[in-house]
Structure 1
Amino acid sequence: MKQWILGIALITMALPLFGQYKFTTNKEMECTAVKNQQRTGTCWSFSTISFLEAELMRLGKGNYDLSEMYMVRNIYKDKARNYVLRQGNANFSQGSLNHDVMRALKMAGAVPESVYSGLTEGDRYHDHGEMEAALKGFLDGVLESKRPSEKWAGAFEAIIDHYLGAVPETFTYQGKTYTPESFRESLPVNPDDYVTLTSFTHHPFYETFILEIPDNYSNGTYFNVPLDELQAITDYALNNGFTVAWDGDVSEKGFSAGEGVAILPERPNDEDKFESPVDEVKVTQENRQAAFENFSTTDDHLMHLTGLAKDQNGQRYYITKNSWGEVSAYEGFLYMSAPYFRMKTVGVMVHKGAIPTDIAKKLNL
């Protein structure tokens, strides 16, 4: 989840011609505008907030612009408690996962972006490098004292306030006064209606398990399904008006935000792989598992799947909303091929209603 980049710099890069990839959209759901996480490892919040904003559209509530950084600050607080209670034997970093936004929503509510941007006076863009170092240094100092007092949590939050700004106890939005909790209650989104799923053979299928990835600090559980069913769930969701929150690996040579495609070519070193469709790796449950266990596949970025498309050769793609600003000819979106999805997806989050009935029964949903 620490995939972070300054979108402004990418926008200025020379963009290639896209004429030889010809995409036809089969299904596309409404979503909000592309945002930019900038110099932060907060793709998990940007992708999940985008997913929630699309859910509000699907549910007929219109266009919301929710604050990503409100969720980020509350997960920092939750991580800090976990880090101290585990006496430093836990992950404390900028990264997290889709289910952590749902945790923050339940714990602390939500606010609009207009109420809490996470930028203080003089800030031009988001940059959490110094703040992360300051927060972790503070926590390590607390642990060195051997007997933490009850004061550390307030002092920790004061550091966040200095970098991101304090949260107002109440705010006015569209003529009504809210607290973060009452604003959450005004939204027709129940965090318990959403589940995360994955596909790995080192745990039984159709059961839940705690996925062993560094950013799963909260020990979130995933439903485990065969790879074909993980893809079937995603396809079913997108074909039936739902969008999908995606977690996976973007370190492959076939991933290019600037080119606007994510592919898994059989010859990844070919220089012409982005010029036109190429033959891609056949992904099985076995080679996918091997890639996860040898760390060829890691969870280094989260994005938002909003539709389905095909290229001129009939290859299937997932229309994918990124959070690096409006880069590429697709203005911040990219096309992820089906082989790339099958190999490089670590997990997805969907509404329970987006799971086909036969698979839902196997999961007791």
Structure 2
Amino acid sequence: FIVRHCYNDKADKYIRMNGTINFAQGGSTLDVPYVMVNYGLVPEEAYTGLQYGTEKHEHAELSSVLTSMVNSVNSAKTKSPVWKKAFKGALDAYFGELPETFEYEGKTYTPQSFAQSLGINAADYIPVTSFTHHPFYQSFAIEVADNWLWEKYHNVPMEEMKAIVDNALDNGYSVAWAADVSEPGFNWTDGYAVIPKKKTEKDMNGTELARWVKLSDRDREKESNKISGPREEITVTQELRQEMFDKQETTDDHGMVIVGKAVDQEGNKYYKVKNSWDTNHVYDGFFYVSEPYFLAKTLDILVNREAIPKNIAKKMKI
């Protein structure tokens, strides 16, 4: 339901911007409250979106079809009055027609009335990020392709962003988390994400060093991030975090949910994260993200305003 509505509005914006913004699979965390406010919500059973013969969502073909359509419209000197109708037809074919009303647990709803029945106020959810190319305690539209809505995020120092997450978890709130998951230390299969300190020649004995110098740069990177137990990790500063973002070493890849905390056998702290990819791995759909990884590779978070420490909320003017 959310993806369907976002594709429709994203297409309209893409054409209005002459094809100069991103049109692709994916979006930002703020797509969800946007759809909720403008179109309502539905339970999955009322609108599965699975009209194309699979049990799980697979949008590769859909993405190609829709991208071809908007690019064709964009290339036309004069836009026809029916392209939106044609685009809607493609969405209907892949997702199914949108329900005007539906039955759920013995009651009849519209998407708007169902959203209202949940008791959730979208305005209660605060987007937060931490970068120095904009002033702290002001809001800015984070410059990543999937922020097609150009929504603004509250900008706070890195340690305060972490304090918000810690306070949320300590008080029973989960946190939506947008992060870079293309790092060598992000190991979904084994259930962890870390950024170990790089090995140096000084750390190695003769035999290990002789082997190390023969490895390719790619193999050295891979081996540096392979762990069998606790490893010393990098120290993340605000400056390093910014440098990684400016170099586009930190990229906007994926949205997940932080649900708890954990420590390893040496007391190193981690966040427990729920991922949507699948449950067929070591922790059944969850994995553990080290604090250094969180500090370095978080793009942004979305959290209930009640979960933000009062002193930080005051500086954010919320």
Same fold? TM cut 0.5: yes
Distance between the aligned counterparts of 1:137 and 1:109, measured in 2?
Answer: 29
Paired position in structure 2 for 1:364 = 317
Write the mapping of 1:205-220 to structure 2, written as runs, cut at 5 A. Answer: 205-220=136-151
For the pair shown, the structure with the greater C-alpha radius of gyration is 2
Distance between the aligned counterparts of 1:84 and 1:101, measured in 2?
Answer: 22
Residue by residue, what CA displacement relative to the aligned partner does 1:257-316 show, whole Å, maximum 9, x if unpaired?
Answer: 110001111135436843101000000001111000001101111111000111111111
Distance between the aligned counterparts of 1:353 and 1:175, measured in 2?
Answer: 33
Paired position in structure 1 for 2:258 = 305
Gaps of 5+ in 2: 199-220
| Preserved CA contact (<8 Å) 1:71 1:104 | yes
Distance between the aligned counterparts of 1:356 and 1:271, measured in 2?
Answer: 37
Paired position in structure 2 for 1:274 = 227
Paired position in structure 1 for 2:63 = 132
Tell me the TM-score normalized by structure 1.
Answer: 0.79
Paired position in structure 1 for 2:99 = 168
Structure 2 counterpart of 1:318, from 268, 271, 276: 271
Distance between the aligned counterparts of 2:91 and 2:37, measured in 1?
Answer: 20
Other structure's SS at 2:7 match: helix
Paired position in structure 2 for 1:51 = none
Instruction: Point out which structure has higher relative CO (alpha carbons under 8 A, 6+ apart).
Output: 1
Distance between the aligned counterparts of 1:273 and 1:312, measured in 2?
Answer: 18
The structural deviation recorded for 1:121 is 5.9
Residue by residue, what CA displacement relative to the aligned partner does 1:21-79 show, whole Å, maximum 9, x if unpaired?
Answer: xxxxxxxxxxxxxxxxxxxxxxxxxxxxxxxxxxxxxxxxxxxxxxxxx1000000110
Distance between the aligned counterparts of 1:132 and 1:221, measured in 2?
Answer: 26
The structural deviation recorded for 1:132 is 1.1
Distance between the aligned counterparts of 1:337 and 1:353, measured in 2?
Answer: 25
Structure 1 counterpart of 2:296, from 324, 328, 343: 343
Structure 1 counterpart of 2:82, from 134, 137, 151: 151
Residue by residue, what CA displacement relative to the aligned partner does 1:79-117 show, whole Å, maximum 9, x if unpaired?
Answer: 011011111111110120001111011111111111111
Distance between the aligned counterparts of 2:253 and 2:61, measured in 1?
Answer: 20
Tell me the TM-score normalized by structure 2.
Answer: 0.90
| Preserved CA contact (<8 Å) 2:185 2:225 | no
Gaps of 5+ in 1: 1-69
Q: 2:214 aligned with 1:261, yes or no?
A: no
Other structure's SS at 1:320 match: strand
Distance between the aligned counterparts of 1:151 and 1:269, measured in 2?
Answer: 51
Write the mapping of 1:284-303 to structure 2, written as runs, cut at 5 A. Answer: 284-303=237-256
Q: Residue 184 of structure 1 aligns to which amino acid in structure 2?
A: A
Paired position in structure 1 for 2:202 = none
Q: Residue 234 of structure 2 aligns to which amino acid in structure 1?
A: V
Cα 1:131/1:272, change in 2 over 3 Å: closer
Distance between the aligned counterparts of 2:269 and 2:297, measured in 1?
Answer: 15
| Superposition CA RMSD, Å | 1.3
Paired position in structure 1 for 2:173 = 242
Identity of aligned residues (%): 46
Other structure's SS at 1:136 match: helix
Distance between the aligned counterparts of 1:336 and 1:271, measured in 2?
Answer: 17
Distance between the aligned counterparts of 2:227 and 2:33, measured in 1?
Answer: 36
Q: Residue 311 of structure 2 aligns to which amino acid in structure 1?
A: D
